[in-house]
């Protein structure tokens, strides 16, 4: 076989093969064609194997032609294969069409109670100012709830209509304020100390939109050398701005608590009327946010801290009150009814 003859033969083979490959109807027949031409006993494979018998002079040229032919067929096969695969897949996908606007599989989402949320927020703000969380019992004694807090037996807060007493003993009561934790901490820890004590308190009051026989407070206490009223103002101002995440106009108004002196009420400008006076603030233009003051020397003495060496400030706030303000909740009973329609809004 001379060169001319080989070339004619191989060209004819390529053109037949390409026509067949391009005309293949499906992946199976395409695979059969690949075996027919490129398989171990395929027509092209056999022809190329015959190159060895050719004259040495034409072998290089023939080899070149043979490789070209193989490449052409392989390329045609690959492009046909991917074309057939895509069109087959596309047909299948089209059959899988669904209404993609149908609702997804939904699950109940867990929600954290708003009082927990605001409590965590308050704790984390004070944590960043170096305060740690302290805890104390809810069933307390009158010593921790009153006497140690400079509240003598004749104070109206000790009246039976305000405080719940229990069967545990003549001095046992349900704490009416978280200030009890101040005393327990100071009894056990030497200053300097900075604590924040969130917890449940109880008062014997008729249930209405503003009152419930139990509610929650967060108490704070800082005792150190050279603590003054200016630092109380600075700390609580910083706290309020952080809690409401915007500048809030506040004022410190003189007030009286048995266990702090001087004492103050921290008011914020009423956010509902911008200080003009409305129903929420009772026309005052200001809302009470928390009570605070310098720890009374009698309280320090009572727990064995020398008031000439140490001073400190304390503050207490109602969680419900802050949450009602922050989330615009108008009835305190919502917090304890646990209606899912309420809980799922937080």
| Interacting residues with other proteins between 18 and 77 (CB under 8 A) | none
- Residue 140 or 219: which CB sits closer to other proteins? 140
Using the rule CB under 8 A, is 146 a contact of other proteins?
no
Closest among 68, 67, 66, 71 to 9, alpha carbons compared: 66
The one segment of 5-13, 45-53, 62-70, 113-121 that binds other proteins by CB under 8 A: 113-121
The binder of other proteins chosen from 56, 97, 167, 245 (CB under 8 A): 167
Which neighbouring-strand residues pair with 141? 172
- Residue 51 or 343: which CB sits closer to other proteins? 343
- Residue 74 or 205: which CB sits closer to other proteins? 205
The binder of other proteins chosen from 109, 245, 246, 304 (CB under 8 A): 109
The binder of other proteins chosen from 34, 77, 184, 321 (CB under 8 A): 184
Per CB under 8 A, which of residues 271..330 are in contact with other proteins?
282-284, 294, 296-297, 311
Using the rule CB under 8 A, is 264 a contact of other proteins?
yes
The binder of other proteins chosen from 31, 121, 138, 269 (CB under 8 A): 138
Using the rule CB under 8 A, is 331 a contact of other proteins?
no
The one segment of 1-9, 18-26, 61-69, 100-108 that binds other proteins by CB under 8 A: 100-108
Burial class of residue 199 in the structure, from the number of CB atoms within 10 Å of its CB (0-12 exposed, 13-18 middle, 19+ buried): buried
Q: At its nearest, how many Å lie between other proteins and the CB of residue 321?
A: 15
Pair of tokens at residue 27: 């992946």
CA–CA separation, 122 and 188 (whole Å)? 24
Q: At its nearest, how many Å lie between other proteins and the CB of residue 47?
A: 49
Closest among 81, 173, 119 to 323, alpha carbons compared: 119
Pair of tokens at residue 94: 């089209």
What is the SS3 assignment for 230?
A: helix
Closest among 117, 215, 210, 138 to 181, alpha carbons compared: 138
Using the rule CB under 8 A, is 204 a contact of other proteins?
yes
Total residues at interface with other proteins (CB under 8 A): 92
What is the SS3 assignment for 185?
A: helix
- Measured in degrees and rounded to the nearest 5, phi and psi for residue 32 equal -60, -40
The binder of other proteins chosen from 106, 245, 246, 247 (CB under 8 A): 106
**Per DSSP, which regions of 205-320 are E strands?**
214-224, 250-257, 260-269, 286-295, 311-318
Name the pairing type of β-strands 193-202 and 132-133.
parallel
Q: At its nearest, how many Å lie between other proteins and the CB of residue 89?
A: 26
Angle at 344 between CA 340 and CA 345, to 5 degrees: 125
- Residue 120 or 330: which CB sits closer to other proteins? 120
Using the rule CB under 8 A, is 132 a contact of other proteins?
yes
250 close to 259: Cβ distance less than 8 angstroms: no
């Amino acid at each position: 076989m001379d060169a001319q003859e080989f070339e004619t033969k191989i060209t004819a083979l390529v053109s037949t093969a390409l026509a067949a490959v391009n005309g293949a109807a499906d992946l199976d027949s395409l695979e059969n064609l690949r075996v027919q031409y490129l398989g171990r006993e395929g027509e092209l494979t056999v022809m190329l194997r015959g190159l060895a018998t050719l004259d040495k002079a034409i072998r290089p040229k023939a080899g070149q032609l043979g490789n070209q032919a193989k490449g052409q067929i392989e390329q045609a096969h690959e492009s046909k294969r991917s074309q057939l695969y895509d069109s087959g897949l596309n047909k299948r996908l089209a059959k899988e069409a669904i209404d993609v606007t149908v609702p997804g599989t939904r699950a109940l989402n867990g929600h954290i109670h708003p009082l927990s949320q605001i409590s965590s927020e308050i704790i984390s703000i004070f944590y960043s100012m170096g305060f740690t969380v302290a805890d104390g019992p809810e069933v307390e004694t009158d010593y921790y709830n009153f006497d140690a807090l400079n509240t003598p037996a004749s104070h109206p807060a000790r009246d039976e209509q305000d405080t719940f007493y229990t069967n545990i003993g003549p001095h046992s009561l349900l704490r009416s304020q978280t200030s009890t934790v101040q005393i327990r901490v100071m009894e056990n820890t030497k200053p300097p100390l900075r604590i924040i004590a969130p917890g449940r308190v109880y008062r014997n009051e008729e249930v209405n939109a503003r009152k419930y026989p139990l509610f929650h407070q967060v108490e704070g206490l800082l005792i150190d050398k050279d603590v003054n009223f200016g630092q109380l103002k600075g700390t609580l101002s910083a706290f309020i701005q952080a809690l409401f995440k915007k500048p809030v106009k506040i004022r410190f108004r003189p007030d009286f608590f048995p266990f702090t002196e001087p004492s103050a009420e921290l008011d914020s400008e009423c956010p509902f009327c911008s200080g003009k006076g409305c129903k929420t603030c009772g026309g005052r233009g200001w809302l009470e946010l928390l009570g605070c003051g310098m720890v009374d020397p009698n309280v320090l003495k009572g727990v064995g801290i020398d008031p000439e060496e140490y001073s400190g400030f304390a503050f207490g706030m109602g969680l419900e009150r802050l949450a009602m303000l922050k989330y615009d909740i108008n009835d305190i009973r919502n917090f304890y009814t646990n209606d899912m329609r309420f809980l799922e809004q937080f």
